[in-house]
């Protein structure tokens, strides 16, 4: 067998062949990667390739936008899960749909499906701007829910698909948040001719496998109330959140800086802005509700856009895995007649007073004033006529009060004698004074009781005038708006509790009250101030001054009423004093009554016995000493 040997030449050949192969691979690779720029430019610019290969700049931008939207859409679908379908529809844009009738115009946004603008077409603000209850993002409506795959979503961030239809004269907008064409969450709005109230329903279809029934579904409604009146402080005083609960009971949050409250079985929530209100009503009571009111007026001297910030959180319940609620929205005047005609207890939104005060307003003053304002040429004249009628009706009470004061004036000398005679024996002084009153047929309480009887009427009217929507922007004499303050002079500075203006009606009302108090309090004022008794003279001066400050920012219609009322009362009292009542005859009658045996009532007799026993005990204690 031949032994093989190492061949050096063969090795050199293999090395040379390998080197050639490596060089060939390198040169071929370089020829594919390097392109002559000049040749590429010439190829793009040739007529044969220009139309087929070039993409116009606008199409390139659209393609880039399309690619970006596709990416965002994919991300949205990932984030929204089943509801990502709604983001792929053409309606997934910041567009609005408008419906209107002859009193209300609404714009409903695709995003969130809620009203983005609500305008009352027949009303203006104090500075002649249209009255908007919703505009520029001051309100929001959101349903927060959890899906079965663990996503927590807010409808205010999702896009609804609008559909506008008509049924007779009714205009209907259906806003659908879609999972598919046959699976959706729907808001349905129905606006009727001439109505501030629109039907509103929330329902779902085919979402029983999408909505997580084990987690809370909360409906959140929020609104910042726009300023509509000249006096921000006055408007804010009557701006409040009111709600109805437990089959007809109603409550409100108050006017503090921050108020929070919770209740059960809620049937309506009202965000009241003095003369205009936004109200949500439901046929199916919400099991509970949480309400918040925040005062946004930090400084009344600054021109403020908003009055209060209201918020309500109400839970929604699934039935058979679906939502189904029939509700209503009201966007309109806080007018007692309009609200009362709906027969849904909405008259409670108008602050007419509780108990007997509200009854007097509802069944006496509101219908009577409506009648007067319908037949008289001016609302100011209607106020004056109503005031005259009220004072005439109450004149017998005024007569009783003045007669009692006249009797006390006649008895004053004898009372002074008793006070002087028994100045060191308070018990005996009281006994003798009571005997004198009993014999003369007079009593200091007989003057107080008639005054107390008038309080319900005065308080009812105090509630009526600030709440009378009919007075809004109705002028009389120098007042251009009887629902706001009148101005005869603007001040270059602000006086605390008074304001930066001078109102004439409060000045006239204060003068009339001062004269009235001079005629009543002045004649019965103590000649010597007794210890522990209020200084009547101080009160006589303080009361008109307080009214002057308090009413300077109040409705001029209320000041007109008080001025007219006190003026008429002064006239009635002058007639009673100089025509009806004769003090000499009163004195003679008192002296005659004193001679007659007076039969004491059970209460008077009991009081006298108690006083005699107390006197006897006092004497016994003095003897022991």
Do 336 and 437 belong together in one domain?
no
- For residue 313, pLDDT over 70 is answered with yes
Do 366 and 335 belong together in one domain?
no
Do 317 and 445 belong together in one domain?
no
DSSP readout, 53-97? H---HHHHHHHHHHHHHHHHHHHHHHHHGGGHHHHTSTT-SS-EE
Note the pLDDT of residue 186. Answer: 93
Task: Answer yes or no: is 428 within a domain.
Answer: yes
- For residue 257, pLDDT over 60 is answered with yes
User: Tens of pLDDT along 412-457?
Assistant: 777 777 777 777 777 777 777 777 666 666 666 665 666 677 778 8
Note the pLDDT of residue 286. Answer: 93
- For residue 468, pLDDT over 80 is answered with yes
Nearest to 490 by CA among 552, 557, 554, 548: 552
Note the pLDDT of residue 14. Answer: 40
Q: How far apart are CA 379 and CA 46, in angstroms?
A: 87
- For residue 8, pLDDT over 50 is answered with no
Asked which of 290, 312, 347 is the last residue of a domain, the reply is 347
Q: How many independent structural domains does the chain possess?
A: 2
Do 90 and 204 belong together in one domain?
yes
More confident residue, 539 or 149: 149
Buried b (16+ CB within 10 A) or exposed e, 89-126: eebbeeeebebebebbbbbbbbbbbbbbbbbbeebebb
Neighbours of 261 (CB within 10 A): 15
Q: How far apart are CA 316 and CA 31, in angstroms?
A: 71
The CATH number covering residue 189 comes to: 2.70.98.90
Task: Answer yes or no: is 34 within a domain.
Answer: no
Note the pLDDT of residue 316. Answer: 92
Do 121 and 253 belong together in one domain?
yes
Nearest to 470 by CA among 457, 484, 483, 451: 483
More confident residue, 25 or 391: 391
- For residue 292, pLDDT over 90 is answered with yes
Name the helix (H) or strand (E) containing 305: none
Q: Tokens 């709440």: give the residue.
A: 467
Note the pLDDT of residue 442. Answer: 64
Do 377 and 291 belong together in one domain?
no
Q: What are phi and psi of 267, to 5 degrees?
A: -115, -20
More confident residue, 60 or 86: 86
Q: Determine what percent of the chain is predicted with pLDDT higher than 70.
A: 72
The confidence band for 463, taking pLDDT boundaries of 50, 70 and 90, is confident
Note the pLDDT of residue 62. Answer: 35
Do 238 and 274 form a contact (C-beta atoms < 8 A)?
Answer: yes
Asked which of 322, 347, 372 is the last residue of a domain, the reply is 347
Do 339 and 388 belong together in one domain?
no
Note the pLDDT of residue 334. Answer: 93
- For residue 367, pLDDT over 50 is answered with yes
- For residue 536, pLDDT over 60 is answered with no
- Work out the average pLDDT over 379-403: 84
CB burial class (10 A; 0-12, 13-18, 19+) of residue 434? middle
Q: Determine what percent of the chain is predicted with pLDDT higher than 90.
A: 28
Buried b (16+ CB within 10 A) or exposed e, 533-561: eeeeeeebeebbeebbeebbbbbbbbbbb
- Work out the average pLDDT over 224-231: 87
Note the pLDDT of residue 268. Answer: 94
- For residue 282, pLDDT over 60 is answered with yes
- Work out the average pLDDT over 64-71: 46
Ranking 276-280, 346-350, 354-358, 495-499 by mean pLDDT, the lowest is 495-499
3-state SS assignment for residue 203: strand
What residues form DSSP beta bridges with 224? 309
Do 221 and 109 belong together in one domain?
yes
Q: How far apart are CA 352 and CA 253, in angstroms?
A: 16
Name the helix (H) or strand (E) containing 405: helix 395-421
> Tokens in use for 247?
């089959």
Do 473 and 555 form a contact (C-beta atoms < 8 A)?
Answer: no
Ranking 80-84, 132-136, 338-342 by mean pLDDT, the lowest is 80-84
- Domain range spanning residue 571? 361-595
Nearest to 505 by CA among 481, 483, 485: 485
Phi-psi region of 424 (alpha: psi -120 to 50; beta: other; left: phi over 0): alpha
Do 334 and 381 belong together in one domain?
no
- For residue 3, pLDDT over 70 is answered with no
User: Tens of pLDDT along 127-168?
Assistant: 888 999 999 999 999 999 988 888 888 999 999 999 999 888
- Work out the average pLDDT over 252-267: 86
Task: Answer yes or no: is 49 within a domain.
Answer: no
> Tokens in use for 326?
């029939």
- Work out the average pLDDT over 532-557: 72
Nearest to 271 by CA among 240, 250, 245: 240
Do 437 and 300 belong together in one domain?
no
More confident residue, 137 or 18: 137
Do 151 and 217 belong together in one domain?
yes
> Tokens in use for 183?
């699976």
Do 458 and 401 belong together in one domain?
yes
User: Tens of pLDDT along 192-213?
Assistant: 999 999 999 999 998 888 888 8
Chain mean pLDDT for the chain: 77
Do 173 and 329 form a contact (C-beta atoms < 8 A)?
Answer: no
The confidence band for 11, taking pLDDT boundaries of 50, 70 and 90, is very low
- Work out the average pLDDT over 64-79: 51
Note the pLDDT of residue 312. Answer: 94
Task: Answer yes or no: is 7 within a domain.
Answer: no
DSSP E strands: which ranges in 227-305? 239-245, 249-252, 258-273, 276-295
More confident residue, 13 or 116: 116
Task: Answer yes or no: is 488 within a domain.
Answer: yes
Task: Answer yes or no: is 26 within a domain.
Answer: no
Q: What are phi and psi of 173, to 5 degrees?
A: -120, 125
Task: Answer yes or no: is 374 within a domain.
Answer: yes
- For residue 71, pLDDT over 80 is answered with no
User: Tens of pLDDT along 482-534?
Assistant: 888 888 888 888 787 787 888 899 899 888 888 877 776 655 444 444 444 44
More confident residue, 156 or 298: 156
- For residue 235, pLDDT over 50 is answered with yes
Task: Answer yes or no: is 624 within a domain.
Answer: no
pTM of the model: 0.74
Asked which of 302, 318, 347 is the last residue of a domain, the reply is 347
The confidence band for 589, taking pLDDT boundaries of 50, 70 and 90, is low
Most confident range, picked from 37-46, 53-62, 454-463: 454-463
């Amino acid at each position: 067998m031949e032994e093989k040997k190492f061949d050096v030449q063969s090795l050199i050949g293999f090395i040379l062949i390998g080197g050639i192969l490596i060089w060939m691979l390198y040169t071929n690779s370089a020829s594919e990667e390097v392109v002559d720029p000049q040749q590429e430019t010439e190829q793009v610019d040739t007529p044969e390739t220009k139309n087929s290969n070039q993409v116009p700049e606008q199409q390139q931008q659209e393609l880039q936008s399309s690619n970006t939207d596709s990416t965002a859409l994919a991300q949205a679908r990932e984030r929204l899960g089943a509801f990502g379908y709604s983001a792929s529809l053409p309606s997934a844009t910041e567009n609005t749909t408008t419906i209107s009738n002859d009193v209300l115009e609404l714009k409903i946004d695709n995003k969130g499906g809620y009203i983005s603008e609500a305008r009352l077409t027949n009303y203006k603000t104090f500075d002649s701007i249209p009255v908007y209850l919703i505009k520029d993002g001051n309100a929001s409506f959101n349903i927060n829910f959890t899906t079965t795959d663990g996503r927590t979503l807010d409808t205010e961030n999702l896009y609804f698909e609008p559909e506008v239809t008509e049924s007779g004269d009714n205009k209907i907008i259906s806003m659908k948040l879609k999972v598919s064409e046959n699976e959706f969450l729907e808001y349905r709005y129905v606006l009727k001719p001439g109505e501030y109230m629109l039907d509103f329903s929330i329902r779902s279809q085919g979402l029983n496998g999408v909505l997580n029934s084990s987690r809370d579904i909360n409906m959140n409604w929020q609104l910042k109330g726009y300023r509509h009146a000249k006096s921000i402080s006055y408007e804010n005083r009557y701006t409040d959140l009111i709600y109805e609960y437990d089959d007809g009971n109603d409550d409100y949050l108050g006017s503090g800086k921050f108020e929070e409250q919770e209740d059960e079985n809620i049937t309506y929530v009202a965000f009241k802005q003095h003369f205009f209100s936004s109200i949500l009503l439901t046929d199916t009571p919400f099991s509970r509700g949480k309400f918040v009111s925040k005062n946004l007026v930090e400084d009344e001297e600054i021109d403020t856009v908003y009055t209060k910030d209201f918020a309500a959180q109400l839970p929604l319940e699934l039935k058979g895995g679906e939502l189904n609620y029939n509700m209503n929205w009201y966007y309109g005047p806080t007018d007692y007649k309009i609200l009362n005609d709906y027969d849904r207890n909405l008259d409670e939104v108008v602050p007419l007073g509780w108990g007997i005060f509200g009854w007097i307003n509802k069944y006496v003053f509101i219908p009577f004033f409506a009648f007067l304002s319908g037949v008289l040429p001016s609302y100011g004249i209607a106020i004056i006529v109503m005031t005259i009628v009220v004072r005439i009706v109450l004149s017998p009470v005024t007569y009783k009060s003045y007669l009692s004061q006249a009797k006390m004036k006649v008895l004053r000398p004898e009372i002074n004698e008793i006070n002087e005679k028994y100045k060191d024996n308070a018990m005996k002084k009281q006994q003798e004074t009571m005997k004198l009153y009993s014999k003369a047929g007079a009593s200091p309480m007989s003057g107080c009781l008639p005054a107390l009887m008038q309080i319900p009427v005065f308080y009812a009217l105090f509630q009526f005038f600030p709440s009378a929507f009919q007075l809004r922007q109705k002028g009389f004499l120098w007042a251009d708006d009887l629902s706001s303050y009148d101005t005869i002079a603007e001040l270059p500075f602000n006086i605390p509790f008074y304001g930066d203006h001078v109102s004439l009606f409060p000045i006239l009302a204060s003068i009339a009250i001062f004269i009235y108090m001079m005629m009543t309090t002045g004649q019965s004022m103590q000649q010597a101030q007794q210890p522990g008794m209020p200084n009547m003279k101080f009160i006589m001066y303080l009361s008109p001054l307080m009214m002057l400050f308090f009413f300077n920012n109040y409705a001029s219609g209320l000041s007109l009423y008080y001025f007219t009322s006190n003026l008429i009362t002064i006239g009635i009292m002058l007639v009673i004093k100089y025509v009806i009542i004769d003090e000499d005859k009163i004195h003679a009658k008192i002296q005659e009554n004193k001679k007659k045996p007076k039969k004491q009532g059970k209460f008077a007799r009991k009081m006298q016995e108690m006083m005699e026993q107390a006197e006897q005990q006092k004497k016994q204690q003095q003897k022991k000493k």
